[in-house]
Amino acid sequence: MRWVIRHCLLAILVFASAASGAPSGTLTPPPPELPAPDQFVAKDRPGDSGKAILLTWKDPPSLPAGATFEARRAEPPAYEWTKVADVKAGVQRYVDATAKDGVVYRYELRVHHADLADTLGLAGTIGPAVVSDPVASHDNWIKPERMNSLVACVLFLVLLLGSIGMAGRGTQFFIRRIAGLNAVDEAIGRATELGRKVLYVPGILSPGDIQTVASLAILGHVARATARYGSDLDCPNRDPLTFTSARETVRSAYLAEGRPDLFREEMVNYITYDQFAYVAAVSGRMVRERPAANFLIGHFFAEALILAETGQSTGAIQIAGTADPAQLPFFVAACDYTLIGEELYAAGAYLSREPVLLGSIRGTDLAKAALLLLGLVGIVSATLGHDWAAALLKTQ
């Protein structure tokens, strides 16, 4: 409101002084002129889901210290300007995230200085306003800053699906030996000989975690082996969804081996949702029931070492696997075999030798090779002073 009064007064004064031709000496000297912002543009913020207008400008060279920029907005045709923001000098951009999609706005930007008294003694001085073209916000189809990630994603899919396709058409792919996995049959065989059971812990997360899905695939193979050998299986769970998934996995494994008679629902059981109560119960079971083989495969946290050490003290063969770098050291220290990182994901393919899965392993390897190549080229180039590769991989 104040600025309206001030501008009206200013206009009247200017008009009056011009009309009367009064000598300028009768007025107090005008305050130093505030400059107008340069290159002021208002446009839809690119790469967003709408409801935001991006204002950009350049600070004019003659900007006095302490000046700020005042951005205002109006919906044409009615020019009711409302203040949107005060922006410090040097920022040169502002995102108005209060816009409504599809509504046309105009923005104006002007320099504002609170300390320079103006001619009428009203606080604050305001420079000339620059008004933007009409602009409306909308949602966008692309996010320019994620193009690199999108290209990487597409390349990955091409390599992966291409390899899977080749495998589907009969190309045979190789997979190298993975130490821990060769021990699976041996461990289950030993359990059968000793007449003790096999314990399978599928991590403590839900099947929404990818390591759990990988673990369930391995559980399928372990369950088929226990069905073949006729040894007992025990799979205690922390996550209720993993619990239902695991039960179906084991059930279908026993079916696939033609031994549904050996399957009992209690093989896959639920304990509790608490990580440590779970680990206490499983440790208790290890000590009391002395399973001959322990599989600890999936996503683990602190419980990893408690389980692995307790299992070790009971003399069981232990095969562990996780992709979480934080828990790997403990499995490596306390278990007989450990699937490290990516080995966990390759395990399903290794155990089943299914062509399609082997094809996917091949595709992943190709992606890895491509990354290594890009990396090496990038390093040489960076050493020579061209730093494009790291920038290319920068994500937002």
Q: Does 319 bind another protein (CB under 8 A)?
A: no
- By CB under 8 A, the residues from 93 to 122 that bind another protein are 97, 101
Residue 3: other Cβ atoms inside 10 A: 16
Q: Does 375 bind another protein (CB under 8 A)?
A: yes
Distances (CA, A) of 23 to 16, 18, 101: 12, 9, 52
Q: What torsion do the CA atoms of 46, 47, 49, 55 make, to the nearest 10 degrees?
A: -30
- By CB under 8 A, the residues from 39 to 68 that bind another protein are 47-51
Which of 225/346 has CB closer to another protein?
A: 346
The minimum distance between CB 78 and another protein, in angstroms, equals: 23
Closest CA to 71 of 90, 50, 87: 87
Q: Does 345 bind another protein (CB under 8 A)?
A: yes
Which of 7/88 has CB closer to another protein?
A: 88
Part of the chain binding another protein (CB under 8 A), chosen from 29-37, 179-187, 225-233, 332-340: 332-340
Angle at which helix 342-352 crosses helix 210-229, to 10 degrees, equals: 40
Binding mask 241-260 for another protein (x = CB under 8 A): x-xxx-xxx-xx--xx----
Helix (H) or strand (E) holding 45: none
Q: Does 328 bind another protein (CB under 8 A)?
A: yes
Helix (H) or strand (E) holding 197: none
Q: What share of the chain is helix, strand, coil (3-state, %, to 5)?
A: 45, 20, 35
Which of 125/364 has CB closer to another protein?
A: 364
- By CB under 8 A, the residues from 185 to 224 that bind another protein are 206-214, 216-217, 219-220
Part of the chain binding another protein (CB under 8 A), chosen from 35-43, 122-130, 226-234, 359-367: 359-367
Q: Does 173 bind another protein (CB under 8 A)?
A: yes
The single residue among 82, 170, 176, 261 that binds another protein, judged by CB under 8 A, is 176
Tokens representing 253?
A: 């494994």
Part of the chain binding another protein (CB under 8 A), chosen from 61-69, 103-111, 184-192, 356-364: 356-364
Provide the strand spans (E) within the chain. 38-44, 53-58, 68-74, 82-88, 93-96, 106-113, 125-126, 130-131, 198-201, 233-237, 268-270, 293-297, 317-322, 337-340
Q: Of how many residues is the chain composed? A: 396
The single residue among 69, 295, 300, 330 that binds another protein, judged by CB under 8 A, is 330
The minimum distance between CB 1 and another protein, in angstroms, equals: 21
DSSP state of 258: T
Q: Does 92 bind another protein (CB under 8 A)?
A: no
Q: Does 266 bind another protein (CB under 8 A)?
A: yes
Count of residues near another protein by CB under 8 A: 132
**In whole angstroms, what is the distance from residue 215 CA to residue 207 CA?**
9
Q: Does 395 bind another protein (CB under 8 A)?
A: yes
Which of 226/245 has CB closer to another protein?
A: 245
Which of 46/128 has CB closer to another protein?
A: 46
Q: Tell me the β-bridge partners of 112.
A: 68, 126
Which of 119/244 has CB closer to another protein?
A: 244
Write out 303-343 in H/E/C secondary structure.
HHHHHHHHHHHCCCEEEEEECCCCCHHHHHHHCCEEEECHH
- By CB under 8 A, the residues from 2 to 41 that bind another protein are none
- By CB under 8 A, the residues from 72 to 91 that bind another protein are 85
The single residue among 39, 172, 182, 313 that binds another protein, judged by CB under 8 A, is 313
The minimum distance between CB 216 and another protein, in angstroms, equals: 5
DSSP H helices, 83-239, are 147-168, 179-194, 210-229
Binding mask 140-159 for another protein (x = CB under 8 A): xxxx--x-xxx-xx--xx--
